[in-house]
């Protein structure tokens, strides 16, 4: 089972399958602004950053399991100085990256979650050579931390006990079964 860390790692791993991002997929920590202000190293681009938007509302579904909607913001960051096609201020590369992210994550099921569903996206209308595009996904998350059925809790041993029992079963066809009418059935008093 899983806590909140496993879905994050799962989404990071799936995002890294987009070949453009195999160098740099990280947790979001406002890297774009920090790099722009000189407070952060120049990270490789294109890059993808994962931001978790978790709901403050968990619903108890029983035996210590909880359910909540999780949002994942995928921050796509690309650098393009000039496409060399006469459209100096235009960056269409970012839309190719967006399409690859949506293809990789749509209906992907992170650990302990239902399928990711695309919700919203935000373009960068005031960009320099660095373009920051955000794609939002949402899914349902089942948290098992605190449940006795969570293997990590150590409260439940989920294994087959060593017994010496042999079970022999055989099939019986319906034709060989005897019908007993209910009118002749007597209940002992």
Q: Where is pLDDT greater, at 167 or 136? A: 136
Q: Within 37-116, where are the H helices?
A: 93-105
Identify the pLDDT of residue 16: 93
Sign of CA dihedral 136, 138, 144, 146: positive
Specify the residue for token string 């999780």.
70
- What domains lie within the chain, and their CATH numbers? 5-143 (3.30.2000.10)
* pTM of the model as a whole: 0.75
Identify the pLDDT of residue 137: 97
DSSP assignment of 75-135 equals: EEEEE-S--SSS-TT---HHHHHHHHHHHHHTT---TTB---EEEEEE--SS-SSEEEEEE
Q: Tell me: the pLDDT tens digits for 23-56?
A: 789 999 888 877 777 777 788 889 999 999 977 7
The secondary structure of residue 113, as a DSSP letter, is: B
Q: Tell me: the pLDDT tens digits for 127-156?
A: 677 888 999 999 999 988 888 888 777 776
């Amino acid at each position: 089972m899983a806590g909140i860390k496993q879905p994050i790692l799962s989404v990071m791993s799936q995002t890294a399958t987009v070949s453009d991002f195999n160098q740099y997929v990280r947790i979001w920590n406002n890297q774009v602004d920090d790099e722009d202000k000189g407070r952060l190293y120049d990270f490789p681009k294109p890059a993808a950053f994962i931001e978790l938007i978790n709901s403050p509302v968990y619903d108890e579904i029983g035996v210590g399991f909880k359910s909540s909607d999780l949002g994942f913001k995928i921050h796509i960051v690309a650098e393009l100085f000039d496409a060399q096609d006469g459209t100096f201020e235009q960056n269409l590369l970012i839309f190719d990256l967006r399409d690859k992210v949506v293809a990789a994550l749509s209906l992907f099921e992170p650990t302990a979650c239902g399928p990711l569903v695309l919700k919203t996206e935000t373009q960068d209308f005031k960009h320099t050579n660095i373009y920051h595009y955000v794609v939002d996904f949402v899914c349902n998350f089942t948290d098992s931390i605190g449940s006795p059925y969570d293997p990590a809790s150590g409260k439940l041993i989920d294994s087959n006990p060593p017994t010496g029992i042999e079970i022999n079963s055989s099939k019986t066809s319906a034709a060989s079964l005897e019908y007993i009418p209910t009118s002749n059935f007597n209940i002992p008093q």
